[in-house]
Chains A and B, each alone.
Chain A
Amino acid sequence: DIVMTQTPLSLSVTPGQPASISCKSSQSLLDGDGKTYLFWYLQKPGQSPQLLIYEVSNRFSGVPDRFTGSGSGTDFTLKISRVEAEDVGVYYCMQSIQLPLTFGGGTKVEIK
């Protein structure tokens, strides 16, 4: 199984300040079709997870442009340029290059 390692475990951020989350996979997520199957989800308190970023760096429909995904191979980053109160929750990276699909352990983001 591919192990996804996220850091940090938690973040406390002042509104308007940036935040960054790292995700490392135990093997490359670059598939033979040239796509890299790394995704970012946010689970807000009391809600279902919602897709933020697909294939490393593509924002899903309706996701604000303050969210940016980057990386390649086994090393990935999610950045929030200016954190807002509505961004609180747990962020997960996920790989879908092979079964079983696996998630990072999650990063809890809260507002100072």
Chain B
Amino acid sequence: EVQLVDSGGGLVQPGGSLRLSCAASGFTFSSYEMNWLRRAPGKGLEWVSHISGNGGSTHYADSVKGRFAISRDNAKNSLYLQMNSLRTEDTAVYYCARRQRRYYDLWGRGTLVTVSS
């Protein structure tokens, strides 16, 4: 089955760190660019980060630049998001998503990150 399963969310204090994971199956993972997006409580969708198929190119939203790092392990069919110096405004459901052409055609179910003291 073609799917993405994201995990790793939880409760963390401001200033803390968390690493999200996304396990892909059912397709040739290395052939696709992958992204992380999020939806904060009561707010809309926000793009967070992008990585190319071979991992050689990455991009970040200004709101997370310098604090978050996207990476992938194509041998393990896995995508990651290392989140450091977390702030309360980073509280959101985080989704990994497969990018096809210029859109997202496959999404994970989401993992909740709560930043609170």
Say yes or no: is A103 at the interface (Cβ < 8 Å to chain B).
yes
Neighbour of A51 across the interface among B44, B95, B103, B109, CB < 8 A: B103
Which among A14-22, A67-75, A76-84, A93-101 touches the partner chain? A93-101
A48-B108, A48-B109 in contact; A99/B59 too (CB < 8 A)? yes
Most chain A CB within 10 A, of B45, B61, B95, is at: B45
- Residues in A with CB closer than 8 Å to B59 are 99-100
- Residues in B with CB closer than 8 Å to A35 are 102
- Say yes or no: B107 contacts A48, CB within 8 Å: yes
- Say yes or no: B103 contacts A105, CB within 8 Å: no
- Residues in A with CB closer than 8 Å to B103 are 39, 51, 54, 94, 96
Distance of A94 Cα from B110 Cα, bound (Å)? 19
Say yes or no: is A102 at the interface (Cβ < 8 Å to chain B).
yes
A99-B59, A100-B61 in contact; A49/B44 too (CB < 8 A)? no
Interface of B, helix, strand, loop or mixed by DSSP:
strand
CB-CB nearest in chain B for A106: B44
Say yes or no: is B62 at the interface (Cβ < 8 Å to chain A).
yes
A33-63 with Cβ < 8 A to chain B:
35, 37, 39, 41, 43, 47-51, 54-55, 60
A92-B44, A105-B44 in contact; A100/B104 too (CB < 8 A)? no
CB-CB nearest in chain B for A97: B102
Say yes or no: is A104 at the interface (Cβ < 8 Å to chain B).
yes
- Say yes or no: B104 contacts A49, CB within 8 Å: yes
Query: What sequence of 0s and 1s flags, for each residue 35-77 of chain B, a beta carbon within 8 Å of any chain A beta carbon?
Result: 0000100001111001000000001011000000000000000
- Residues in B with CB closer than 8 Å to A60 are 105
Interface, chain A (partner B; CB < 8 A): 35, 37, 39, 41, 43, 47-51, 54-55, 60, 90, 92, 94, 96-97, 99-106
Interface, chain B (partner A; CB < 8 A): 39, 44-47, 50, 59, 61-62, 95, 101-105, 107-110
